[in-house]
Amino acid sequence: MSVLHALREKIQHHQAVVGIYGLGYVGLPLALRFAEVGVKVIGFDIDTNKVERLNSGQSYIERITPHQIQQAQQQGLEATTDFSRTQAVDAIIICVPTPLDAHRQPDLSFITNTVDAMLPYIRAGQIMSLESTTWPGTTDEVLLPRVQSRGFTVGHDFALVFSPEREDPGNPDYGTKDIPKVIGGTTPMCLELGVALYEQAIARMVPVSSTRAAEMTKLLENIHRSVNIGLVNEMKIVADKMGINIHEVIDAAATKPFGFVPYKPGPGLGGHCIPIDPFYLTWKAREYGVNTRFIELAGEINHYMPQWVVSKVADALNERGKAIKGSQILVLGLAYKKNIDDSRESPAVEIMDLLQDKGATVAYSDPHIPEFPKKRDYAFDLKSVPLNEASIAHYDCIVLATDHDAFDYELLGRQAPLIVDTRGRFNSSNINIINA
């Protein structure tokens, strides 16, 4: 029996050990799901704090409870920073970030550093799956040569697949097990093993013809959203100039039972996918002589939205005889979308930075993020401001950036001297409410 046939037997009998590399918003839920169905999981991360907290039964993601961590530990979940333990796993699943660099070019360093750290310890009879969103061809052009450098033949004694993550934090209807899993293999045998691996934990598998097709699928999903959000954000600017409430228009258009999908405008794009993924495709497309003008235009519009919000703040303060400089401004919501604790690429942070650059004294309130997290490009030494009558009335302007359900909107509308609403949550007939 070949080593890959032996691997298939281990997977089918729930005896394969799964290694999850990167224990963040994607990797940790996936690790818990595998543990839930009785699969032994070893989680790898370079963050010693995460590893220590997991191994002591604690959680660092709001929607994951300590009880869930402890249940997974009873099924054998453990975390480590020791990449030499790669030789003890049968399946390698990579769930690390793929950000943009300072020039908005793809930064694959998290992937390459992770793979290079495990490379001395990979062995025949393993399967490697990349889940990180990236440009079409990454699995073939970046991972495959590294595996081959260790003397393995993919499809014969080592398996390689791409299966993009599709997590939607805060979505109560679709957890990890419920979201169909797209997967492409380097060879048919790789695909067969990848499907067998994931179908232990995921309800529905969606095989495609290649790793490149799987990589492009994830980009299409997020570019579709980026382009439509860019469209509705541009419509918001036009409607504002015409004195029309864009939220009213969207709600009316959404009553059409066919041919229209409502997208909501906002202060910009956030999260680790939609603001970043389109640039992975536009960058790769240039290699083929293709100029993705439509995608890039949507990106420009969405990237501009925090500046639009700040301009609305400036206009609203100016009408009340104030300047941004010297004003006390409170930003409501630091997370990139409501009811979660994830502030990656959040437009709220960009708005805070722009306001501070213009001389405002900036604060924030977010019940899901009690302290401003460490970030590469921003440094605010702030804690979340509790909302009450006195604290609300203290600020010259409040900017609603993320409309968490936990906010008391009736209290805010009654007490705030001025609210700039980027989410359409307030009744705009109130003279103290400005839509942005």
Closest CA to 164 of 135, 188, 200: 135
Look up tokens 């590399």; give the residue.
21
* CB-based contact 305:347 (threshold 8 Å): yes
Residue 148: CA atoms inside 13 Å, Cβ hemisphere, count?
Answer: 10
Closest CA to 164 of 222, 91, 225: 222
Q: Which whole-number Å values give the CA distances from 313 to 143, 330, 404, in the listed order?
A: 47, 11, 20
Exposed, middle or buried: residue 188 (CB in 10 Å: 0-12, 13-18, 19+)? Answer: exposed
Cα 265 to the center of its chain, rounded Å: 18
What is the set of active-site residues?
Answer: 273
